[in-house]
Amino acid sequence: MTLEDLVRLRRARDLMDRDYSEPLDVPALARVALMSPGHFSRSFRAAFGETPYSYLMTRRIERAKALLRRGDLTVTEVCFAVGCTSLGSFSSRFTELVGESPSSYRARSHDDGAAIPACVAKIYTRPVRNGEARPDSPPLV
């Protein structure tokens, strides 16, 4: 993979970070990266270790967690606010990444993390897929 390819992939990833709540699909992201959809998907996975869809959903779940911690929106409102169109798919992915349902997450207290700076909290509250190491996990030997 060339440096130019990485620059174009980062452009698409930056678009996902910025416009996570917009309807984004692989063909649209591939156009931003100036690649065919298939080549974009393969290259994105090789460069960032996950598919474009998986990356986008992780961004959406991160934002959903922040909105749910505020407690002023329902789970359905949060689902649509972060760009998901199916409450069932949103809830399933949220539960998979966070380890509890959006309703349970919203209902519990989040006061423990109130004194932690946002830049640190972001690292420790990032949704983690099964098998990934958390920042506080011991290194694998």
Q: What are the pLDDT digits (tens) for 5-62?
A: 999 999 999 999 999 999 999 999 999 999 999 999 999 999 999 999 999 999 999 9
* CA dist., res. 119 & res. 101, Å (int): 24
Are residues 29 and 66 located together in one domain of the fold?
no
First to last CA, the chain: 29
Residue 70 CB-half CA count within 13 A: 10
Residues 67 and 99 sit within 8 Å (Cβ to Cβ): no
What band does 141 get if pLDDT is binned at 50, 70 and 90?
Answer: very low
What are 64-119's pLDDT values in tens digits?
Answer: 999 999 889 999 999 999 999 999 999 999 999 999 999 999 998 877 655 566 66
Are residues 12 and 73 located together in one domain of the fold?
no
Are residues 89 and 71 located together in one domain of the fold?
yes
Residue 111 DSSP code: G
Residue 120 is part of which domain span? 56-125
Are residues 77 and 92 located together in one domain of the fold?
yes
